[in-house]
Structure 1
Amino acid sequence: MLFYDIKYILPLKNHKEVFKEKIKFYLWVGLILLSFDLFVEYVSNTDVFFLKMANSIWLMIYVMIISFFIFEYSIPFIKFRWKRLLMLPFIFVFYIFMFSFGFYWWRNIGVSLHIYFAFTEYKSTRDALSNFFPRGLFSAIVIGIIKYSYDFRVLKETAQKLRIEKQEAELNYLKSQTNPHFLFNTLNNIYSLARDNDPLASESILRLSKILRFMLYQTNVDFIAIEQELKIMEDYISLEKLRYDESLIINFNHSIEDIKQEIPPLLLIPFVENAFKHGVSETRNNPFVDIHLSVQNHLLLFIVKNSTEKSPSHENSRENIGLSNLRRQLELLYKDYEVNVFQGEFDFTATLKINLKSHV
């Protein structure tokens, strides 16, 4: 697509702002072309440089006005409107006239106002037109090339900005889904304790308050230190342990080169939550959860293995909202990552690998 109207891709700007930006653009382009023209004039003849400068300014004003109407009104008026294409020959003839006779008349107006200095006397109007027409047309073509190159760059930057904003909105939506889902499961745990009048219910509420404080005040940022993610996982695991007796075996170990290394908040929790909700809670004999986190040379490896009584035929059912949202978040956040799940006969393993340097 060669021609397009830049005003349709400038978000949140009214017509007045767009018009001001267009005027500013043509002023800058006119100034650049004028500077180039003056440089040529200065090199060729310094004796009458200031008089030549006055002439160049006067003619450039005309070229910029005509170019403005060509590229901002005439071309947008006829483009992609087949019925208006019938007017194209008339518009073409009109601008040929404006760059020939109109240009010459503009020069004569300047002469009569004593702001244009005639260094050349033309024998005929034809000779004058043969001089002014190529100059005006060439200037308009150069302006058109600059304009559409500029518009294309703005279009590309705007599209990129809109894509990023869309991804951020989607990421925030996924987070807004994951957090209530995480909270809902935790409340279910507390409800189970309260229903049985378990004295551990009060302790679980205290731990939940810590988790809520974290979710309210620390998950609205793009990154947090891994040590913060570890702390929230420990609180969550402690909260889950309140529901089970000593038969539940939990192993949580980590090897982290730099605990200040940053990751998105609540990135790892869905794996742990999945292990308890869809694994341990459905295991009648020998429930266990093994969690290992390693971060070395910006490479994160997170493995969560839990007991289960589901057969491999149920593997597809394991893709719950938590893991589904996590996959999509990773797509938006990182270029180099890998998520693998394996359903064994009596266990389920989820593995996450991320190159933390590959953040989008």
Structure 2
Amino acid sequence: MNRPVDRERFKLYLQIGVGYLLLLLFGDLVSNPETFLKRIVNNLWLVSYLVVLNFLFFEYTLPYLRRSWKRIFIAPFLLGGHLLLYSFGFYFWRYIGIGLHVYFSLKTYSSPREGVAAHVPFSLFSVFFFGIVRHIYDYRKLKQAAQQLRIEKQEAELNYLKSQTNPHFLFNTLNNIYSLARDKSDLAPESILRLSQLLRFMLYEAGGAYIAIDQELKIMNDYIALEKLRYDDSLQVNFNHDVEDMKQALPPLLLIPLVENAFKHGVSETREHPFIDIHLSVNQRQLSFVVKNSTETFSDRPRVKENIGLSNLRRQLQLLYTDYTLSIQQNESAFTATLKINLKSHV
């Protein structure tokens, strides 16, 4: 039981004591208005004793007994001692106040037993009052701590998903440049320049929680231009958008995985008439993003593939929003990904 006093914890008991004092004063105001001012002084003196006693009981005695079952043998002595403090000690505290002239003797008792009997309900009720308020306070603190831990865990997972997505996105882009360099294409220098723009964005702008939609559109346009360098004029890319406010906030690179998926797992595997249609609309905080690309199905592979980009996107959406849908449809010639988000539902 020998441990330093937790001052913050003691402040809690002082606050509970103030609540208990106000409760007592309300009762005195109703039942004894003629001596109300004197009873304010008396209750201040008595409650100060109960604050210290309840602090010792709940913060030292009970935790000490709970630490080991072997201490059950001394429990009757410790609890009995506290019972004496709540009864005879409390009544004796009244006499100390009278002797120090900080307590008004408004009632005379014929014997100490009568005085103790009159004060015991006052002190024992404080045990229930302090105990209940303390339990509610601790429960709320525990709940807040658990919620904070959950938030920190989700933030850590979200950062991990971003750390996976960005390198994945970068490596795919490097593979594209490698293909151009291997073919000794004159477009390789331009692709490196566009890659540097992508890297600058990821290093200096994509690290925050949000970016404006116009920045997301810019990086998307740069990525599309970089990907198109690998294809001839047979690839048709249609990208249009309808956004009422270009400065609306959006998590960085949230939409890129669907575009990347269209190039890597769509048109790159299409032999005839490859195409990509991209449409983004954001109106009244309702985002709709549809990416449709050409594809060809093969009997030896599943029709819809959940690659790392789509899997990470699904998990990021779960962590970021409460109202969203991500649907994927595939037929013999086209693959369509549709993402709808209520931007107001951000966690």
Same structural fold, with TM-score higher than 0.5 when normalized by the shorter chain: yes
Moved more, 240-249 or 255-264: 255-264
**Residue matched to 2:85:** 98
Name the counterpart of 1:224.
211
Aligned match for 1:200, one of 187, 202, 206 = 187
Letter in 2 for 1:99: Y
Which deviates further from its counterpart, 338-347 or 57-66? Answer: 338-347
Q: Are 1:312 and 1:344, in contact at CA under 8 Å, matched by a contact in 2?
A: no
Preserved contact between residue 300 and residue 355 of structure 1 (Cα < 8 Å) = yes
1:73-112 alignment to 2 at 5 Å? 73-79=60-66, 82-85=69-72, 87-112=74-99
Q: Is 1:143 aligned with 2:130? A: yes
Query: What amino acid does structure 1 have at the position aligned with 2:219?
Result: I
1:69 paired to 2:65: no
The separation in 1 between residues aligned to 2:83 and 2:117, in whole angstroms, is 12
What displacement does 1:175 show? 0.9
Q: Which residue of 2 aligns with 1:292?
A: 279
Tell me whether 1:351 sits opposite 2:338 in the alignment: yes
- Percent of aligned pairs sharing the same letter: 59
- Match for 2:307: what amino acid? N
Post-superposition shift, 1:55? 2.6
- 2:17 corresponds to which of 22, 25, 30: 30
Q: Secondary structure of the residue that 1:318 maps to in structure 2?
A: coil
Matched AA of 1:315: P
Contact 1:287–1:307 (Cα < 8 Å) also in 2: yes
Find the aligned partners of 2:299 and 2:340 in 1 and give their Cα distance: 23
Over aligned residue pairs, what C-alpha RMSD do you find? 2.4
Q: Is the 8 A contact 1:100 1:129 kept in 2?
A: yes
1:186 to 159, 173, 181: 173
Question: Which residue matches 1:236?
Answer: 223
Question: Is the contact made by 2:278 and 2:289 (CA closer than 8 Å) also made in structure 1?
Answer: yes
Higher mean C-alpha displacement, 176-185 vs 151-160 = 151-160
Report the CA distance between 1:26 and its aligned residue.
Answer: 1.2
Deviates more, 1:79-88 or 1:107-116: 79-88
Instruction: Name which of structure 1's ranges 35-44 and 285-294 shifts more when overlaid on structure 2.
Output: 35-44
Higher mean C-alpha displacement, 240-249 vs 285-294: 285-294
Q: Match for 1:246 among 218, 230, 233?
A: 233
Counterpart check, 1:283 vs 2:270 = yes
CA shift, 1:94, in A, is 2.6
Q: Is the Cα contact below 8 Å between 2:297 and 2:303 reproduced in 1?
A: no
Find 2:147's aligned residue among 145, 160, 169: 160
1:315–1:343 Cα contact (<8 Å) kept: no
Is the Cα–Cα contact under 8 Å of residues 336 and 355 in structure 1 kept in the other structure?
yes
Q: Which moved more, 1:85-94 or 1:99-108?
A: 85-94
Return the alpha-carbon distance in structure 2 between the equivalents of residues 231 and 214 of structure 1: 10
Instruction: Say if 2:40 is the partner of 1:58.
Output: no
User: Using the alignment, how far apart are the partners of 2:335 and 2:300 within structure 1?
Assistant: 12
Counterparts of 1:332 and 1:262, CA distance in 2: 16
Which stretch has the larger CA shift, 128-137 or 194-203?
A: 194-203
Amino acid corresponding to residue 180 of structure 1 in structure 2: P
Aligned CA distance change for structure 1 residues 188 and 152 (closer, same or farther; 3 Å): same
Structure 1 residues 247 and 74, CA gap change in structure 2 (3 angstroms): same
Kindly tell me the number of residue pairs found equivalent between the two proteins: 345
The one-letter code sitting in structure 2 at the alignment partner of 1:290 is D
> Could you tell me how far apart the structure 2 residues matched to 1:87 and 1:277 are?
73
Deviation at 1:38, TM superposition (A): 4.1
TM-score, length basis structure 1: 0.87
Structure 2 SS opposite 1:118? coil
Structure 2 CA distance for partners of 1:312 and 1:237, relative to 1, 3 Å: farther
Please give the alpha-carbon distance, in whole angstroms, between the structure 1 residues aligned to 2:98 and 2:210. 67
8 A Cα contact 2:257 2:313, kept in partner: yes
Deviation at 1:44, TM superposition (A): 5.5
Shift of 1:234: 0.5
- 1:203 Cα deviation (Å)? 0.8
* Bigger Cα displacement from structure 2, 69-78 vs 178-187: 69-78
Q: Aligned equivalents of 2:36 and 2:342: distance in 1?
A: 63
Q: For the Cα contact (< 8 Å) 1:312–1:343, is it kept in 2?
A: no
Unaligned segments of structure 1, at least 5 residues: 1-14
Query: Partner amino acid for 2:255?
Result: L
Q: Quick one: structure 1 residues 188 and 331, their matched pair in 2 at CA, closer, same or farther if it must change by over 3 Å?
A: same
Unaligned stretches of 5+ residues in structure 2: none
The Cα shift of 1:157 comes to: 1.9
2:176·2:227 contact (CA, 8 Å) conserved in 1?
A: yes
